[in-house]
Amino acid sequence: MTGDRKAALVTGGAHGIGRAVAGRLAEAGYGVAVVDMDAEAGEKVAGEIGRGSRGDAIFIRADVAIEADVVAAVEAAARRFGGLNLLVNNAGVNCRRPLAELSLDDWQRVIGTNLTGVFLFSKHAAAALKAARGAIVNVASTRALMSEADTEAYAASKGGIVALSHALAVSLGPEVRVNCVSPGWIDVSATRPGGQIPLSAEDHAQHPAGRVGSPEDVADAVLYLAGAGFVTGANLVIDGGMTRKMIYV
């Protein structure tokens, strides 16, 4: 926000999709606050982004499910960049467990990170975003729309994000636009400790678009929504067409 520079806060920016989003925003000239629980990876990402782009980056350690962390992260980002134009709620965890074995702790951990984290960041960043006439982009999932077995907590958290996004769009407009993206299969293995996992020809071919998605596919959509002045309350599905494909055996 200092001068012409816009500022963004990206949760879960140390790995995977969040890392690609942070990098793409920095390339576009944003000052980026990379927020994550993983301080070692987050510091590294912020350093790389800060060196290699037109933008600038800092790392802020926070657990998105802890309100005091969220308040401190928003304050630190706004102080560093002189305001906040964009909030990307991306941090998330998965949990695949049969219903009978899904504990209340499992449920609350997934809902706490994936859904409560979006609520807390949106609430505490709202004033700064309103002042900047900014935007929020939330990362949901096609699992908000369809399911495999044993994914209740994750699916519920992502369905909650889609609903929370349109509620926020109505409450925070016209100053703040709020949208979400719903990625399908995005291969983030290259950014994980074990390195790139090879994908088969079938993995790619089953998608109407002919390939599995990349973190950059989601980053491009987030950058679009950050600037799409007449789009709010939308859920942009980025899944290579998988949720449009009928599968009958």
Ligand X SMILES: NC(=O)c1ccc[n+]([C@@H]2O[C@H](COP(=O)([O-])OP(=O)(O)OC[C@H]3O[C@@H](n4cnc5c(N)ncnc54)[C@H](O)[C@@H]3O)[C@@H](O)[C@H]2O)c1
Contact residues for ligand X, defined by CB under 6 A: 11-12, 14-18, 36-38, 63-65, 90-93, 113, 139, 141, 183, 185-186, 188
Smallest CA-to-CA distance from 26 within 57, 3, 2 is with 57
Q: What contacts 6, CB < 8 A, 6 or more positions away?
A: 29, 30, 31, 85, 86, 132
Min CB(133)–ligand X separation in Å = 26
Distances (CA, A) of 3 to 7, 10, 117, 190: 11, 21, 30, 36
Min CB(159)–ligand X separation in Å = 12
How many angstroms from the chain centroid is the CA of residue 127?
Answer: 20
Q: Which residue out of 30, 154, 224, 248 is catalytically annotated?
A: 154
Residue placing its CB nearer to ligand X in the complex, 17 or 126: 17
Residue placing its CB nearer to ligand X in the complex, 36 or 152: 36
Spatial separation of the C-alpha atoms in residues 46 and 135, rounded to whole Å = 22
Min CB(139)–ligand X separation in Å = 4
Q: How many CB atoms lie within 10 A of CB 164?
A: 20
Backbone angles phi, psi at 167, to 5 degrees: -65, -45
Task: Let me know if 154 is a catalytic residue.
Answer: yes
Min CB(204)–ligand X separation in Å = 14
Residue placing its CB nearer to ligand X in the complex, 11 or 132: 11
> Which value, to the nearest 10 degrees, does the dihedral of the CA atoms of residues 89, 91, 93, 94 take?
50
Q: Are 225 and 137 in contact (CB under 8 A)?
A: yes
What does the chain come to in residues?
249
Residue placing its CB nearer to ligand X in the complex, 1 or 12: 12
Query: Which positions are catalytic?
Result: 154
